[in-house]
Structure 1
């Protein structure tokens, strides 16, 4: 079931990005809608595997101010645990010098965790408020690669599911 959801999210994101890219030469200058996100995979010891996707849709209020909604899905497994995490929330980006941005986004996460070693299950919700910024590089057709660093100001060391409040991010945006 989870593989179908993740595969569907990847296909949907690819179709949206492809459709926006095809239309960008015709009407991006007239449209204030932006689309983007990121995908990731990682591997590690003890058969660790992580697959994640984070689609986003935004609206340009001005040339420099964009707001919208973003989501995230992450699936992790190892020899010792499995977890699924869904997140959803608003974001606000301010762009300056057409190469840099500051960003704020709130995410509410729904987390399911199963420790296979201790036969322990948990369901948890967690809030995150990420503040940060980064650099943008144009890759053509009103599309940009975004590289940034965010910090979750709500992160607490002993009560969070996350190991750190600091989060590097890489993503793509079409329509800016």
Structure 2
């Protein structure tokens, strides 16, 4: 399933970007938005973490935006490794280009391998994040977003995630 969804996601994103990039400018009232975030982490026991979360949106009104969000993350240490891919729709409402409230649904595909116990796991998990945050203008139509989301589907003993809270930092171009 991942072998189909990942290339399809990138082809659709590329097609949308190529349609928007040709012959458009801010004066043409382009309603497409692009953005996302990246993350990297290091720790003890040769721990390494890398993530990327691209997003493509469309401004339905001046203050309401909907679109598709994807995420890919890799974790590796001396004791385990994991890969996680997620994809789903999002909806954001902007308040004066200073604050936002949003919702996004993610369906995750998780591959985990414990090196000491020779244990492998392939799971899928759903998440529905609700929350909001602050926006800081960093250009004409570009913003830095700082927020906090909560996964309302999170259950303590049955989730791959350690908590339902998810802080987020990202960039949006096109608002």
With normalisation by structure 1, the TM-score equals 0.85
1:147 paired residue number: 146
Matching of residue 163 in structure 1 with residue 156 in structure 2 = no
Distance in 2, matches of 1:166 and 1:65, equals 24
Distance in 1, matches of 2:117 and 2:27, equals 53
Matched ranges for 1:1-176 at <5 A: 26-27=25-26, 30-176=29-175
User: Deviations 1:17-71 (Å, cap 9, x if unpaired)?
Assistant: xx96xx88x3365110000000000111111110000000000000100000000
Distance in 1, matches of 2:139 and 2:27, equals 12
CA RMSD in angstroms comes to 2.1
User: Deviations 1:4-26 (Å, cap 9, x if unpaired)?
Assistant: x9xxx8xx99xx6xx96xx88x3
CA 1:29/1:94 → structure 2, altered by over 3 Å: closer, same or farther? farther
Structure with greater contact order relative to length (CA < 8 Å, sep ≥ 6):
1
Distance in 1, matches of 2:80 and 2:93, equals 39
With normalisation by structure 2, the TM-score equals 0.86
What are the ranges of 5 or more consecutive residues in structure 1 without an aligned counterpart?
none
What are the ranges of 5 or more consecutive residues in structure 2 without an aligned counterpart?
1-5
Q: Shift of the alpha carbon at 1:129?
A: 0.2
Do 1:28 and 1:142's aligned partners in 2 also have CA atoms closer than 8 Å? Answer: no
Structure 1 runs (4+) greater than 3 angstroms displaced: none
Q: Shift of the alpha carbon at 1:141?
A: 2.4
Distance in 1, matches of 2:68 and 2:27, equals 19
